[in-house]
Chains A and B, each alone.
Chain A
Amino acid sequence: MGNSSKDDSTTDGDTSSGDTPPSNPNLYAEGEKVLAYHGPRIYEAKVQKAEQGKKDWRYFVHYLGWNKNWDEWVGSERLMKHTEENVLKQQALDKKQGVDKNPKSGRSAQTKPKSSADAKVEKEDLKTNVPKGKKRKNDSGAEKDTLSFEKLVKIQIPSTLKKQLVDDWEYVTQQDKLVKLPRSPNIDDILRKFLEYRLKKEGTIPDPVVEVLKGIRCYFDKALPVMLLYKKERKQYQEAVKDDISPSFVYGGEHLLRLFVKLPELLAFVNIEEETLTCLQQQFIDLLKFMQKNQSTFFLSAYDGSKGVEGKGKD
């Protein structure tokens, strides 16, 4: 990858005066969320790198929620802008293909693609997707021999919390409001309260539960600045999280909840066995239900109107 881009840049640089630049513009930016055709379906993907080839731009995409072994270089013809209209197109295609529980079951049965044969992968994928009628029915036996690495954790977020997330979106992105920081209870408090609650209810706290909560906290601290903030919250983040304080002490339920939207994507980087994944799912649900139960204390009912209300709004 590195080599080819180097070559391109030297030749392009030399010919800048003579040759006309490639007529095709760069349509997708690095980091842009897009929709990408892969085999018979359209998937959400992210452009990791954009590179100008001799004639056309090439994009290195990561399929959101899928193991990075599927990452690949594609041309612009495989990509679409992530617009509402195109999402509908994606959904329509899904319906046409017959949405079963694991739309990529063909993939998961397959082992990791050989990196050398990038181009072949897609064809192989198409092939393995085809035999639909042959569904293996011996449920436990068949699953075990091919440890499926591609299973995504499905996390069912309770509907009132979903609503909370939509409100959150509305406040921040539409009304220019922010969560006032530091929050109390903060995320550390919430997780601790959850442990106390479990201890009271069950008498003990199993080690695995503790480990999962540590995992959530660790994910949050690392993921917050990278993928859990709306653009309008960045400045506030820089002010509120000074070098050695952990975000879990500053932010609260509003932002913790956003992590659950991103969890499947993050966990896709870990190969987890199906049985363990089921346990994990249950634990996420337990925590979500606990948050739902305490919705009025863990979530703000009104956000701070920070921008554009400078002088007034002092109540």
Chain B
Amino acid sequence: MESGGKGREEEQDGMSVHSPCKAPPSSASSLPKEQSQVELELRLLEALEIYPPVKLQGIHRHFVLFGLMEFLRRSFDRHFSSDEVLQLLDRFYNLEVLKPDDEEMEILNHEEEFCLPQSFFVKEES
């Protein structure tokens, strides 16, 4: 199968190249681009190990997104907008279907009174 495909490719190349002295085959020019996409996706998956996508659907959403943005920024040394990260994620996940995890319910179901830590009072005296 592989060799067959290759053969056809060569054939096409042979037909399309009119002036053999210039223009490399079109596939070569798109290669770096593809590579960078793969790299990007790999890094994103790496980042998702730290920032699980489930958390994008609850109260922590923005801080998880922030974490992903920072992770990618450091990996590629360029700025990533939140939209860009979300679009990337969209290649792998249907985020809308995700439900917030139990952990979150746990936080939000335990109502407690606000309590100012003791240290605040100590500091004031001194």
Q: Is the CB of A215 within 8 A of B50?
A: no
Q: Is the CB of B116 within 8 A of A269?
A: no
Does A80 lie at the interface of the complex (its beta carbon under 8 Å from any beta carbon of B)?
no
Q: Is the CB of B66 within 8 A of A276?
A: yes
User: How many residues of A are in contact with the other chain, CB < 8 A?
Assistant: 47
Partner of B63, one of A84, A162, A230, A270: A270
Q: Name the A residues within 8 Å of B71 (CB-CB).
A: 273, 276
B79 to chain A minimum Cβ distance, whole angstroms, is 7
**Complex CA distance for A286 and B80, rounded to whole angstroms:** 22
- Quick one: CB contact mask for A217-246 with B, threshold 8 Å, 1 for yes? 011001101111111000000000000000
Which residue of chain B has the shortest Cβ distance to A209 in the bound complex? Answer: B66
Does B113 lie at the interface of the complex (its beta carbon under 8 Å from any beta carbon of A)?
yes
Measured as residues with beta carbon below 8 angstroms from the partner, the interface class of chain B is 35 or more
Given A165-B116, A165-B120, A229-B113, answer yes or no on A270-B107 (Cβ-Cβ < 8 Å).
no
**Complex CA distance for A159 and B112, rounded to whole angstroms:** 26
Q: Is the CB of A271 within 8 A of B116?
A: no
Q: Is the CB of A46 within 8 A of B50?
A: no
Partner of A31, one of B63, B110, B117: B110
**Complex CA distance for A162 and B126, rounded to whole angstroms:** 13
**Complex CA distance for A33 and B111, rounded to whole angstroms:** 12
Q: Is the CB of B114 within 8 A of A228?
A: yes
**Complex CA distance for A214 and B74, rounded to whole angstroms:** 22
Q: Name the B residues within 8 Å of A162 (CB-CB).
A: 120, 123-124
Interface on B for A, CB 8 Å cutoff? 50-51, 55, 59-67, 69-71, 74, 79-82, 103-104, 106-108, 110-118, 120-121, 123-124
For the complex of A and B, list the 4 residue pairs with the smallest distance between their C-beta atoms, beginning with the closest: A215-B62, A276-B70, A214-B62, A211-B66
Interface on A for B, CB 8 Å cutoff? 31, 33, 46, 48, 68, 84, 87, 147, 159, 162-163, 165-166, 169, 206-208, 210-212, 214-215, 218-219, 222-223, 225-231, 258, 261-262, 266-267, 269-273, 275-276, 279-280
